[in-house]
Amino acid sequence: MKKIYLAVVLFVLTSLSALAQNDGGAIKVVLQDKATKEPIPFANVVAFKDGVQVGVATTNMDGEAYIKPLAPGKYDVKGVFVGFQPTEIKDVVVGEGKTAYVTLPLSNQMLEEVEVLTYQVPLIDPDTKSGQTVTREDYQNLATKDINSVAATTAGVYQSDEGKGLNIRGGRDNNATYFVDGVKVFGAPRLPQQSIEQLNVITGGVPASYGDLVSGAISISTRGPQAKFFGGVELISSQLTDKYGYNSLGFSLGGPIYKKRDSTRRTVVGFFLSGQGTYIKEPTPSFVPVYVLKDEKLAELKETPLRTSPSGVGFIRTSEFVTKDDMKTQKFRPNNASRSLALNGKVDFQPTPNTNISLGGFYEYADNRLDANGNPQVANTLFNSNNNSRSSARNLRGNLSITQKFGNATADKTKTQSTLSNSFFKFLASYENFLERTMSVEHGDDLFKYGYIGKYEIPQLDHNWAYNYAYDAST
C-alpha cells in the first residue's frame, strides 16, 4: 500500500512539473585536463550567483556535469578536483529553458590561487531554439523601454512602429504569446524596466512546455531578491528638449529580510519591488504639423454653433465657414496624453537550501486618449478634442511558485560525491484579472447620458414643418 501511495505522489509531482512552463535553465560543464585535453571524471562543479552557492554537480566518466534548475541570469561556475588548480569562469549567461555550455580546463600545477576565466557568449547558439536572449544589462542600455520594441531587434520579428504589436515570422500582430516567470499572460505586459532580469524571444523550435503557439513566444523573467540590499531610481524627461513631453520615473529596491545567523549567512526571506510611471503628452508624434483652431475661434464656435442659412430657410453650421487663418499649427495633438503605472514585487522564502517558495504580484494601470487600434483620434483634433474618449486598462496578476530539490544540502559542496544533485519538482499557480474600458470623460459610467442631446421646444411652420424661429403665424 505504501508503494502505491508513493507512486501516486510521484505521478502528481511529475504532472505539476510538466504543466509549468518555467522549468528554469541549466549549465552543462565539461572539465578537462588543460595539458592533455582528457576529461576529468568525479570532479565537483559549483555554480554561484552574486557570491552565493546555488547549485552543484559531479562530473561523469566523460567529464560532463549538469547544474539545474537555475533561474535566468548570470552565474560564476567553479571546477574543483584533487590534484588540480581550481578554475572559475565568470558571468555565464543562463536563459529561460536554455542550457549554457561551458568548458573548464584544469591545470595540474597545484597552485593555491583560483584561475579566473571570462565567459564568451557563443556566436552560434548550440540550443535547438532560434531567437534571441536579452539580458538585464543589454536592456538597460537600449534606448527603448517597450518590451515589444526590444523583442523587435530579433531576426524574424517585425514591428511597424514603437510600441506596436509584433509580427513573428509572418504571423499576425496578435499571435505572439507572452510568458512572465513561466505564466502565460494576456497581451503584451508593461513591466517596469528595472524589474526585468532577462527577455527571451523564441521564433522557432518552440519547446513543448510552451504549448501550442500560432506564431512565436516571448518569455520574460523578472528579478528576484539578492543577498545584499540594492536599489536605484531613474528619471527621464524631455520637457526641456521637445514639445512631446515624455516623462518616465522608475525605481527598484530589494534585498534580504532575514538571514541565517550562522557561518553560511544564507538569505531565508528576501524581497524585490520595482515600479515605473510614465506621462507622455504626445504618444504618437507626427512629422506633419498638427492643425488646431485658435482659442478665440473655438470659443466663437461654441458660443454660436449655428447661423441662419443664406437661403432664408433653416440653419447651417458655423464651422463650415472656418478658414486657414482661423487655425494654427503645433507639434502635439490636443488632449492626447497617456499615463501609465506599473508595479512589480516578489518575496522569496527559502526555509531550507533545497526548498524555495516564491510569491509574486503585478499591478498595472494605463490611461490614454487613443482609439481601439492604438491610434490618435484624428477626427476630433480640429473641433472636438476636448471630448476625446478615454480608454483605461487595469491588470492584476499574482503567482505562487514552489521548487523542491533533492540531494544532500548540508554537505560541503566542493567535496561531496552525491549522485542525486539535479532531481527536483516545481509547482506553479497563477491568477490574473484584466479590466478594460472606453468611455466619455464627461459621462463616465452613466449609460443613460450617452446619446441624449437634450429637450427642445421648437415652433414649426404649419405648411411644410420647416425650422424657422422667426416665423410669425399672424403674417
What pLDDT, on a 0 to 100 scale, did the predictor assign at position 459?
63
What pLDDT, on a 0 to 100 scale, did the predictor assign at position 228?
86
Note whether 26 and 67 are within 8 A (CB).
yes
Give the Cα separation of 384 and 377 in Å (integer): 10
Taking alpha carbons only, the member of 400, 402, 275, 281 closest to residue 339 is: 281
- pLDDT grade for 407, boundaries at 50, 70 and 90: low
Q: What is the mean pLDDT of residues 215-230?
A: 86
* CA atoms within a 13 Å half-sphere pointing along the CA-CB vector of 429: 4
Give the Cα separation of 238 and 225 in Å (integer): 32
Residue 432 corresponds to which amino acid? Answer: E
For residue 296, report the phi and psi dihedrals to the nearest 5 degrees.
-70, -35
Q: What is the pLDDT of residues 343-370, one digit of tens each?
A: 999 999 988 888 899 999 999 999 998 7
What pLDDT, on a 0 to 100 scale, did the predictor assign at position 263?
73
**Local structure of 192: helix, strand or coil:** coil
Q: Residue 3 pLDDT more than 70?
A: no
Higher-confidence residue: 471 or 12?
A: 471
What pLDDT, on a 0 to 100 scale, did the predictor assign at position 6?
39
Q: Residue 472 pLDDT more than 70?
A: no
- Model pTM? 0.75
Residues 6+ apart with CB under 8 A from 452: none
What pLDDT, on a 0 to 100 scale, did the predictor assign at position 363?
95
The C-alpha cell at 125 is 547558439
What pLDDT, on a 0 to 100 scale, did the predictor assign at position 344?
93
Least confident window among 327-341, 383-397, 398-412: 398-412
Q: Residue 305 pLDDT more than 70?
A: yes
Q: What is the mean pLDDT of residues 390-402?
A: 92
Q: What is the mean pLDDT of residues 292-296?
A: 91
What pLDDT, on a 0 to 100 scale, did the predictor assign at position 400?
93
Q: What percent of the chain has pLDDT over 90?
A: 22
Q: Residue 297 pLDDT more than 70?
A: yes
The angle at the Cα of 272, spanning 271 to 273, to the nearest 5 degrees, equals: 130
What pLDDT, on a 0 to 100 scale, did the predictor assign at position 461?
54
Q: What is the pLDDT of residues 69-116, one digit of tens each?
A: 888 888 999 998 888 888 899 988 888 777 888 888 988 876 667 888
Residues 6+ apart with CB under 8 A from 124: none
Q: What is the CA radius of gyration of the chain?
A: 31
What's the chain's length in residues? 475
The angle at the Cα of 250, spanning 249 to 253, to the nearest 5 degrees, equals: 145
Higher-confidence residue: 208 or 442?
A: 442
What pLDDT, on a 0 to 100 scale, did the predictor assign at position 287?
86
- pLDDT grade for 272, boundaries at 50, 70 and 90: very high
Note whether 260 and 268 are within 8 A (CB).
yes
What pLDDT, on a 0 to 100 scale, did the predictor assign at position 362?
94
- pLDDT grade for 145, boundaries at 50, 70 and 90: confident
- pLDDT grade for 418, boundaries at 50, 70 and 90: low
Q: Residue 409 pLDDT more than 60?
A: no
